[in-house]
Amino acid sequence: MVQKVLFSATVDYHFKAFHLPYLKWFKEQGWDVHVAASGEIELPYVDQKYNIPIQRSPMDKKNMKAYRQLKKIIDDNQYNIIHCHTPMGGALTRLASIKARKHGAKVIYTAHGFHFCKGAPLMNWLMYYPVEKVLAHLTDSLITINEEDYHLAQRKLKAASIELVHGVGVDSEEFKPVPYKEKIALRKSYGYRPDDFLFIYPAEFNANKNQQFLLHAFNLVKNKIPNARLLLAGEGAGLADCKKMAEQMEIQSKVDFLGFRRDMKQLLSISDVGVGSSLREGLPVNIMEAMACELPIIAVENRGHRELIDHDVNGWLISKDEVIEFSRKMQVLANNRGLIEQLGKEGRRTIVGKYNVPKVLNQKKVIYQSYMKEEGVGEWAVR
């Protein structure tokens, strides 16, 4: 009988953006691959896709319907491995998999950055920690993606197995620096001049991503780096407020709000420096992609940024309260092309050496294959 794996998350774009290499690997092993998430995106390497109304808010009543649909799908399909992602997708799937685990299914959950962590608001600990503590008992393998979460999980959670995997991986052959002539030609095609100095931050506009911090920092250097531009790609609830703030600071002509983009490889290729202002990260793909393109990074210090950025080696980590220091680092790089190249090369070396897709796939294969070899996996088939 053909073995089956189910991948689940809150929204299906999560798989298109981060997990296609892992769906492909299962297909290459001869497995049927199913996906359950909200959305109607067509995904390659998938035999069956379910549009489930999972909502991000734990309070949304639609999640009850999503739970019932997930439970029926899991019970009907008798999966051998279930790999769930995102807080609500992971919570509902693990609850819906209780019966399946009794019949031998193995449930894996990847925590893409716990909402409760060192420095997190007390409310996060009150809301999310008790839930994860209970759900850990319904988890065969809990995958964490940074050192801080790994050690936190070992101390606080009781999953059968706790693993550290270096994120979802970056395709370092796709995201890579381009030759100077190609960079200039690409800049012109986007309407930028060869001598423009481009800072870039792609992220959803919300309180955690903290783009207002970048606007304050950029405002401090607008006259010191007259050719500077700030590229902010993304959408979200905070976009309108950021646009209004840029107008109040009179920097709107130098800040480009790019909206949702599918051309991040090109946008990173034309840029000079990657910046990051988020208050909380698990292991940010946007920063990893920028580093793979040899952009030095200036970022607000958090656990995910600490995992990637070696201070003074491939970029700088700045306290969330030090907007002036952040702006100073922006100015330093704008005036030192040699330092940009030095930090950028070290950043790409970091990604290629530890965080590219083949290395992350090898880590995940060890976990998947350990369950493929177990007698219990596939027990559904003989009952």
Give tens-digit pLDDT for 77-97. Answer: 999 999 999 999 999 999 999
Task: Write phi, then psi, for 95 (nearest 5 degrees).
Answer: -65, -40
H or E, element range at 50: strand 48-51
Q: Which residues are CB-contacts of 117 (< 8 A; sequence separation ≥ 6)?
A: 124, 148, 149, 152, 280, 303
Q: What is the pLDDT of residue 377?
A: 53
Distance separating alpha carbons of residues 147 and 343, to the nearest angstrom? 23
Nearest by Cα to 331 from 348, 346, 316, 309: 316
Name the amino acid, one letter, at 242. Answer: C
Asked if 94 contacts 109 with a C-beta cutoff of 8 angstroms, the reply is: yes
Helix intervals (H) in the chain: 13-18, 20-28, 62-77, 87-96, 98-102, 122-135, 147-156, 180-189, 211-221, 239-248, 264-270, 285-292, 303-308, 323-334, 337-350, 357-372
Q: What pLDDT shows up at residue 121?
A: 80
pLDDT tens-place string over residues 236-281:
999 999 999 999 999 999 999 999 999 999 999 999 999 999 999 9
How far is residue 289's CA from residue 292's CA, in Å, rounded to a whole number? Answer: 5
Token pair 């506009």 is at which residue? 205
pLDDT digits (tens, 9 = 90+) for 166-184: 999 999 999 999 999 999 9
Give every strand in the sheet of 255-259, ordered side by side.
255-259, 228-233, 197-202, 273-276, 297-300, 315-318
Do the strands 297-300 and 162-164 form a parallel or antiparallel pair, or are they unpaired? unpaired
Judged against a pLDDT cut of 70, whether residue 98 lies above it is answered with yes
Rounded to an integer, what distance in angstroms lies between the CA atom of residue 378 and that of residue 357? 28
pLDDT single digits (tens) 316-369: 999 999 999 999 999 999 999 999 999 999 999 999 999 999 999 999 999 999
Residue 25's SS3 state is: helix
| Cα angle 181, 183, 186; round to 5 | 110
pLDDT for the residue 71: 98
The stretch 5-24 carries a mean pLDDT of 96
Write out pLDDT tens, residues 196-220: 999 999 999 999 999 999 999 999 9
The tokens for 179 are 């030759």
Please report, for residues 172, 208, 224, 276, the alpha-carbon distance to residue 213 in angstroms, rounded to integers and kept in the order given.
29, 11, 18, 9
Counting residues of the chain whose pLDDT is more than 90, the rounded percentage is 91
Per-residue pLDDT band at 374 (split at 50, 70, 90): low
What's at 227, amino acid-wise?
N
Predicted confidence at residue 169, as pLDDT, reads: 95
Residue 211 and residue 329: Cα distance in Å, rounded?
A: 17
Q: Would the pLDDT of 113 be above 80? A: yes
Separation of alpha carbons 147 and 162, rounded Å? 12
Q: Beta strand pairing status for 315-318 and 48-51? A: unpaired
DSSP string covering 103-153: TT-EEEEEESS-SS-TT--HHHHHHHHHHHHHHGGG-SEEEESSHHHHHHH
The Cα 289–Cα 169 span in angstroms is: 9
Kindly state the DSSP code that residue 379 receives in the 8-state scheme: G
Q: List the one residue out of 329, 349, 338, 240 whose CA is nearest residue 288.
A: 349
273: enclosing H helix or E strand? strand 273-276
Q: What one-letter code names the amino acid at 267?
A: L
